Amino acid sequence: MASISETASRLAELPNVILKRDVPLSRYTRFGLGGPAAVLLDTADECSFVKALSIARKSGLRVEVIGGGSNLIVADAGFDGIVLRFTGNEIRSDGNTVCAGAGAVLQDLVDYTIHQALAGIHTMTGIPGWVGGAIYGNAGAYGRSMHQNVIWVRFVDGEIAREVDNAGCRFRYRHSAFKDNKSWIVLSMAVDLVPAEGDDLRRQADDILSIRNAKYPPTMKCAGSIFKNLLLVELPEHVRAQVDPKVIREGKVPSAYFLEKVGAKGMKNGDIHVADYHANLIYNAGVGTARQVREVIDDLKSRVRARFGFDVEEEVQYVGF
């Protein structure tokens, strides 16, 4: 196995890269948590990213690829390996087709499509993170998800970059083939949108953003909803019988419904709090730790399992644990 120093030196020789040592990952996550990465490399150069990924993986060291950090919980001890970020953020359009790099901020893409008077992803306004993460987790809101508009996704598989069509992405609720194949790293994607009235799209987006900001203030150190909502048809029959029909939306039951039943609202573990107005919102109120976040998450999962007999599943991803 190569050493950190040797690998960092090889990576630093690549063109168009920014390489840093011992960087606190708390700077790169919305939770504001996490210890240092031994090496952090950023590049918007696709060729250099593919080469960097190959060098890192062949080194025998631990390797993680991250994006905007909106759904990450990084261990307090940090990550004793190589962290890579593809920061290519170009956004361009050709008619109703809009292409974006994985490193583009999702909000920038949403705003671009509204400016172009194209409907389809305008309801995703206010969702934090980058485009690559939105593809990875099939992000969505207000009845829309990325899978409904994606034409193709370009990604690196091993040492080559290739494209896959919508069907090949195997999208389902908050899931994609990229979650099943951790070695597949999204580089860019294209969506097919529908012409619409730009002013109407902006009004809709602004209304959604107001609701979202009231629930998840932009300054709040959180990852949005911690747990995925549940598909009603996948719940055990005895659980379905207990669900209030009024909370069911588009065949889904909010995880918050079950979390509230087990007393989640207002829970505290140091500076890690569960919002007193939303049972599926965990936030860092000051100097909380990743360990405390995990303890709260594990406690809530245990409570739901004990009362209802099934597991709630996190939307967040873990690094360094």
pLDDT digits (tens, 9 = 90+) for 176-192: 999 999 899 999 999 99
Q: Look at residue 212 and tell me if it is in a domain.
A: no
Number of Cβ atoms within 10 Å of the Cβ of 135: 27
Q: Please answer whether residues 319 and 35 qualify as being in contact, where contact means their C-beta atoms are separated by less than 8 angstroms.
A: no
Q: How far apart are CA 300 and CA 281, in angstroms?
A: 12
Q: Look at residue 205 and tell me if it is in a domain.
A: no
Residue in the block written with tokens 């580089």? 187
Task: Say whether both 186 and 285 belong to one domain.
Answer: no
Task: Say whether both 97 and 168 belong to one domain.
Answer: yes
Q: Look at residue 204 and tell me if it is in a domain.
A: no
Task: Say whether both 55 and 70 belong to one domain.
Answer: yes
Specify the CATH number for the domain of residue 310.
3.90.78.10
Task: Say whether both 223 and 173 belong to one domain.
Answer: no
Q: Would you tell me the crossing angle of helices 46-58 and 4-12 to the nearest 10 degrees?
A: 160
Predicted confidence (pLDDT) per residue in 258-317, tens digit: 999 999 999 999 999 999 999 999 999 999 999 999 999 999 999 999 999 999 999 999
Task: Say whether both 185 and 131 belong to one domain.
Answer: yes
Specify the CATH number for the domain of residue 135.
3.30.465.10
Give the chain's domain count: 3
Domain boundary among 172, 199, 226: 199
Domain boundary among 86, 103, 129: 86
Domain boundary among 54, 86, 118: 86
Task: Say whether both 74 and 155 belong to one domain.
Answer: no
Q: The domain containing residue 145 runs over which residues?
A: 91-199
Task: Say whether both 192 and 234 belong to one domain.
Answer: no
What's the pTM?
0.92
Q: Look at residue 80 and tell me if it is in a domain.
A: yes
Q: Look at residue 207 and tell me if it is in a domain.
A: no
Number of Cβ atoms within 10 Å of the Cβ of 306: 9
Task: Say whether both 245 and 314 belong to one domain.
Answer: yes
Residue ranges, the chain, pLDDT below 50: none
Active site residues: 174, 225, 315
Q: Look at residue 208 and tell me if it is in a domain.
A: no
Residue in the block written with tokens 């700077």? 27
Task: Say whether both 195 and 98 belong to one domain.
Answer: yes
Task: Say whether both 16 and 30 belong to one domain.
Answer: yes
Task: Say whether both 254 and 277 belong to one domain.
Answer: yes
Q: What is the pLDDT, as a whole number, of residue 26?
A: 96
User: Closest Cα to residue 193, out of 140, 150, 234?
Assistant: 150
Task: Say whether both 122 and 140 belong to one domain.
Answer: yes
Cβ neighbourhood burial of 108 (10 Å; 0-12, 13-18, 19+): middle
Q: What is the pLDDT, as a whole number, of residue 224?
A: 85
Specify the CATH number for the domain of residue 8.
3.30.43.10
Q: Look at residue 209 and tell me if it is in a domain.
A: no
Q: Look at residue 206 and tell me if it is in a domain.
A: no
Q: What is the pLDDT, as a whole number, of residue 218?
A: 87
